[in-house]
Amino acid sequence: MQNQLDSSTQASAVRAPQIRLDSVGKSYGGTSVLRDVSLTVEPGEIHGLLGENGAGKSTLLKILGGAIASDAGTVSFNGTPARIGAPRDAIDLGVSLIAQELALVPARSVLENVFLGRWSNTAGFVRSRKDRAQLAALIEESGFDLDLDAPVSSLSLGQAQQVEILKALARGSKVICFDEPTAALGEADTENLLALIRTLAAGGTTIIIVSHFLDEILGIADRITVLRDGNQIITDDAAGYDTEKLVGLMVGRQVEALARTPKPVESGAPVLLSVQGLGNSKISNISLEVRRGEVLGLVGLMGSGRSETLNAIFGGDRISVGEVSVGGQKVRRNSVRAAIRSGIALVPESRKDQGLVLGRSAADNIALPSLHSRQLAGFIRMGTERAVVDEAAERVDIRGRVRQVEVGALSGGNQQKALFAKWLVEPPTVFLIDEPTRGVDIAAKANIHKLILELAERGAAVVVASSELEEVLSLSHRLAVMRQGSIVAEFDRSASPDEIMAAAFL
């Protein structure tokens, strides 16, 4: 696939523009979230954008992509100041933004999604042969494994992202902004994406990329910018920086080491969660036991059934066989309510669809699950309410003002923290956690790991599913490896990553 992208699809396109930001800023309701950002990105450059959750990274990309308008400073293309008031303006300037949440229409095909809004007839029934041919060529050149006519709903996350990239390429974009593109990808998809980004850049496309995986940025970026609390800390060549140095710049303080190990499970600790022979259309014969104070890690490739297992234990996905017990008591089947009543909590993978009420503040979301216990004859005691929420927010490091912001407007990482905080108010007996630190910055990640281990130490039985093997390995007492809907191997924490990966792939 190397460099063909350049010759065939972009031959007639212009060179990527030089982009210059001068004192760019943005405020919301009087609160400034981005201040005085000035930098230049040269054609074909890969520019890494780094910072803690809420630092302003997505805000900066959204300004370039026309999703929001800046309210200070100027953005110039090849020296000419541009007005980017809407996505259309950005597209006309050759800029595409691939956002944290993908913007595809699930029921429509790959082809339709790529050309959506570009076909002149209303329903898009008449697909011009040219579009088809162009897209087929693009897919071929980028080495994607995609069927033009497959509905987007049938695609994996990695493939859906490929569709977004195709959309950008088909428009002839010369600047592509990626907002945490690898946050939800498995290892293989991540490698493929990074390779494609390199190829695109080699062909002259400018890339601006946000990621919390610092190694990833160090491995791919020519230059980097670090933001902290809306301020530009540095913009510099990437060479000469390492993870530690970057973290220091991002956080501006010492960070606790990531590797905290779980305390040994007390001998004689009772089994709190027992799952016997659970099965449905996606998983089969899942059996596991987790003791008080124990953390069990669930690992496996994308689609191996990790999330499905957690959802089935929680009663959210229907099961046809098997049973779940908490503390020796059977939990009524297929009832989330019964699961919660028996002390099971789930922090789901998808905060948008499952975990949070987006129209309410972070504080409200945190208060929600435990509300009943603070109601006295229908009244909520406001003082207790605030104290309880503040304590939980404090523990996940959701800072002051952010607590009152609608969750839908929070940065991705702060949403994840809110999701977590709501279960700290009244710790559950059994804690199921799916991808605990997706989109969370490196300092917050260390903090969430600490909280998970504390929950276990306070007596919970914990099951953590994650696509980051390193994460599960450092957190768990034991690991269960899943493949095609079944548990295929178990390891203790002394196992090597290679052994575990072998079991997951075989």
Ligand X SMILES: Nc1ncnc2c1ncn2[C@@H]1O[C@H](COP(=O)(O)OP(=O)(O)OP(=O)(O)O)[C@@H](O)[C@H]1O
Give the interface with ligand X as residue ranges (CB under 6 A). 28, 33, 51, 53-59, 402, 405, 409-414, 441
Q: What is the residue-wise DSSP string for 366-409?
A: HHGGGHHHHEETTEE-HHHHHHHHHHHHHHHT--GGGGGSBGGG
Q: What is the residue-wise DSSP string for 162-208?
A: HHHHHHHHHTT-SEEEEESTTTT--HHHHHHHHHHHHHHHHTT-EEE
User: Is the distance from CB of 335 to CB of 315 less than 8 angstroms?
Assistant: yes
Residues 6 or more apart whose CB falls under 8 angstroms from that of 383 comprise none
**Residue nearer to Mg ion on the CB measure, 179 or 294:** 179
Dmax over CA atoms of the chain, in Å, equals 72
How many residues does the structure list for the chain? 506
Smallest distance, ligand X to C-beta of residue 336, A: 28
Q: Which does 280 bind (CB under 5 to 8 A by kind): ligand X, Mg ion, none?
A: none
Smallest distance, Mg ion to C-beta of residue 380, A: 33
**Residue nearer to ligand X on the CB measure, 59 or 467:** 59
Smallest distance, ligand X to C-beta of residue 88, A: 21
User: Is the distance from CB of 114 to CB of 146 less than 8 angstroms?
Assistant: no
Q: Which does 297 bind (CB under 5 to 8 A by kind): ligand X, Mg ion, none?
A: none
**Residue nearer to ligand X on the CB measure, 211 or 370:** 211
Smallest distance, Mg ion to C-beta of residue 440, A: 11
User: Is the distance from CB of 396 to CB of 443 less than 8 angstroms?
Assistant: no
**Residue nearer to ligand X on the CB measure, 33 or 168:** 33
**Residue nearer to Mg ion on the CB measure, 225 or 411:** 411
Q: Which does 505 bind (CB under 5 to 8 A by kind): Mg ion, ligand X, none?
A: none
Residue nearest to Mg ion (CB): 58
**Residue nearer to ligand X on the CB measure, 24 or 135:** 24
Q: Which does 55 bind (CB under 5 to 8 A by kind): Mg ion, ligand X, none?
A: ligand X
Q: Which does 413 bind (CB under 5 to 8 A by kind): Mg ion, ligand X, none?
A: ligand X
**Residue nearer to ligand X on the CB measure, 9 or 211:** 211
Residues 6 or more apart whose CB falls under 8 angstroms from that of 336 comprise 314, 315, 316
Smallest distance, Mg ion to C-beta of residue 100, A: 6
Q: Which does 414 bind (CB under 5 to 8 A by kind): ligand X, Mg ion, none?
A: ligand X
Q: Pick from 10, 58, 274, 437: which binds Mg ion (CB under 5 A)?
A: 58
Residues 6 or more apart whose CB falls under 8 angstroms from that of 423 comprise 345, 347, 369, 431
**Residue nearer to ligand X on the CB measure, 246 or 462:** 246
User: Is the distance from CB of 427 to CB of 420 less than 8 angstroms?
Assistant: no
Q: Which does 445 bind (CB under 5 to 8 A by kind): Mg ion, ligand X, none?
A: none
Smallest distance, Mg ion to C-beta of residue 290, A: 33
- Helix (H/G/I), strand (E/B), else coil: 338: helix
Q: What is the residue-wise DSSP string for 305-325?
A: SHHHHHHHHTTSS--SEEEEE
Handedness of CA 317, 318, 321, 323 (dihedral sign): positive
Residues 6 or more apart whose CB falls under 8 angstroms from that of 18 comprise 40, 41, 42, 43, 77, 78, 79
Stretch that binds Mg ion, among 26-34, 191-199, 316-324, 403-411 (CB under 5 A): 403-411
Q: Where are the beta strands (DSSP E) in 17-153?
A: 19-28, 31-41, 46-50, 72-77, 80-82, 95-98
User: Is the distance from CB of 504 to CB of 301 less than 8 angstroms?
Assistant: yes
User: Is the distance from CB of 96 to CB of 107 less than 8 angstroms?
Assistant: no
Under the binding rule (CB under 5 A), the answer on residue 65 touching Mg ion is: no
Smallest distance, ligand X to C-beta of residue 347, A: 17
Question: Which amino acid appears at position 284 of this protein?
Answer: S
Under the binding rule (CB under 5 A), the answer on residue 51 touching Mg ion is: no
Under the binding rule (CB under 5 A), the answer on residue 412 touching Mg ion is: yes
Smallest distance, ligand X to C-beta of residue 2, A: 32
Smallest distance, Mg ion to C-beta of residue 99, A: 9
Applying CB under 5 A, which residues contact Mg ion?
Answer: 58, 411-412
